[in-house]
């Protein structure tokens, strides 16, 4: 009887200590994981926009007709408004407290159209909603669009572009040009502002490369329909 009482007393005494130990262990584990994650203000929702601006004089157009920026698709899970972070080899996290003010495909389409218009690559570059018949169409697929926090923080952007032409020849391939561009930009710190700045720097370099390729690869643009 005495032994059972002692055993019961020991269990009652040790149970709170075990609970405290479990709480401490959980807290330390979470703190370790969060140390590698970007800093997050508590319960503060912020909207972000990816926007780039081309500098310098426009070029001589490679075609006297217009280009339409068509469909730009984005791979999941990067296609939503929430910022996405890569925290380990197979672990990604969406940040519902920090979101883009527009969908990623819309931001990439606007940035591409504005850049090529400012560059003067074609006579005019219009968006998908425009009613003009497109002689040439530029489409894209965004394969990667996330903040990589596995080691040193980086902004990661990868895009595959496709330039196509409408043609009366059934034998002709509609694809004139395709190229994949990828950038990893080191971030100054773990803040959201640094990540957005990294995205903008990555997209600027990609659009500079796309513009240069239109001129350096001597694209053989087929004669537009009706010309």
CATH label of the domain that carries residue 162: 3.40.50.10610
d(CA 62, CA 119): 11
The answer to whether residues 2 and 73 belong to one domain is no
- Contact present, 97 and 155 (Cβ < 8 Å): no
User: What φ, ψ does residue 73 adopt, rounded to 5°?
Assistant: -100, 155
Residues 8-42: tens digit of each pLDDT: 544 454 454 445 444 444 444 444 445 456 665 55
Using alpha carbons, select from 37, 35, 55, 79 the residue that is nearest to residue 207. 55
The answer to whether residues 11 and 99 belong to one domain is no
The answer to whether residues 61 and 155 belong to one domain is yes
The answer to whether residues 88 and 21 belong to one domain is no
d(CA 184, CA 162): 22
CA-to-CA dists, residue 71 to 33, 127, 195, angstroms: 38, 9, 25
Whether 25 is in a domain gets the answer yes
Which DSSP category does 85 fall into?
E
Whether 137 is in a domain gets the answer yes
Structure tokens at 13: 């005494």
The answer to whether residues 103 and 174 belong to one domain is yes
The answer to whether residues 5 and 111 belong to one domain is no
Whether 226 is in a domain gets the answer no
Whether 225 is in a domain gets the answer no
Residues 67-86: tens digit of each pLDDT: 999 999 999 999 999 999 99
Instruction: State how many domains the chain has.
Output: 2
Q: Which residue has the higher pLDDT, 40 or 175?
A: 175
Whether 224 is in a domain gets the answer no
Query: Residue 137, CB half-sphere, CA atoms under 13 Å: how many?
Result: 17
Using alpha carbons, select from 149, 161, 181, 160 the residue that is nearest to residue 84. 149
The answer to whether residues 73 and 181 belong to one domain is yes
43: confidence class by pLDDT, cuts 50, 70, 90: low
pLDDT > 70? residue 149: yes
- Contact present, 98 and 139 (Cβ < 8 Å): no
In the chain, what's the furthest Cα-to-Cα distance? 105
Whether 202 is in a domain gets the answer yes
Whether 221 is in a domain gets the answer no
d(CA 204, CA 181): 11
Structure tokens at 79: 């296609």
Using alpha carbons, select from 190, 170, 177, 214 the residue that is nearest to residue 63. 214
The answer to whether residues 21 and 68 belong to one domain is no
The answer to whether residues 178 and 206 belong to one domain is yes
Mean pLDDT, residues 200-221 taken together: 93
Using alpha carbons, select from 211, 206, 151, 215 the residue that is nearest to residue 183. 206
The answer to whether residues 60 and 145 belong to one domain is yes
Which residue range is the domain that position 20 belongs to?
1-35
**Residue 144, H or E segment:** strand 136-148
The answer to whether residues 124 and 211 belong to one domain is yes
Structure confidence at residue 225 (pLDDT)? 61
Sign of the four-CA dihedral 12, 16, 17, 23: positive
Q: Which residue has the higher pLDDT, 227 or 85?
A: 85
Whether 40 is in a domain gets the answer no
Mean pLDDT, residues 199-210 taken together: 98
Its pTM stands at 0.79
- For residue 49, the tally of other CB atoms under 10 A from its CB is 11
The answer to whether residues 31 and 55 belong to one domain is no
């Amino acid at each position: 009887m005495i032994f059972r009482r002692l055993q019961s007393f020991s269990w009652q005494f040790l149970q709170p200590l075990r609970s405290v130990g479990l709480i401490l262990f959980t807290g330390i584990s979470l703190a370790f994981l969060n140390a590698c994650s970007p800093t997050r203000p508590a319960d503060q929702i912020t909207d972000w926009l990816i926007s780039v601006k081309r500098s310098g004089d426009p070029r001589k157009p490679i075609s006297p007709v217009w280009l339409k920026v068509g469909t730009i698709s984005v791979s999941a899970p990067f296609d939503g408004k929430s910022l996405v972070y890569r925290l380990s080899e197979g672990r990604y996290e969406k940040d519902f407290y920090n979101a883009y003010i527009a969908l990623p495909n819309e931001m990439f389409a606007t940035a591409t159209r504005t850049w090529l218009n400012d560059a003067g690559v074609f006579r005019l570059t219009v968006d998908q909603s425009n009613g003009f018949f497109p002689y040439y169409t530029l489409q894209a697929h965004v394969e990667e669009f996330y903040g990589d926090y596995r080691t040193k923080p980086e902004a990661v952007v990868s895009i595959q572009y496709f330039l196509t032409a409408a043609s009366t020849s059934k034998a002709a391939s509609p694809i004139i040009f395709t190229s994949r561009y990828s950038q990893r930009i080191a971030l100054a710190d773990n803040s959201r502002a640094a990540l957005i700045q990294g995205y903008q720097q990555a997209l600027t370099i990609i659009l500079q490369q796309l513009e240069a390729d239109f001129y350096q690869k001597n694209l053989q643009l087929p004669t537009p329909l009706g010309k």
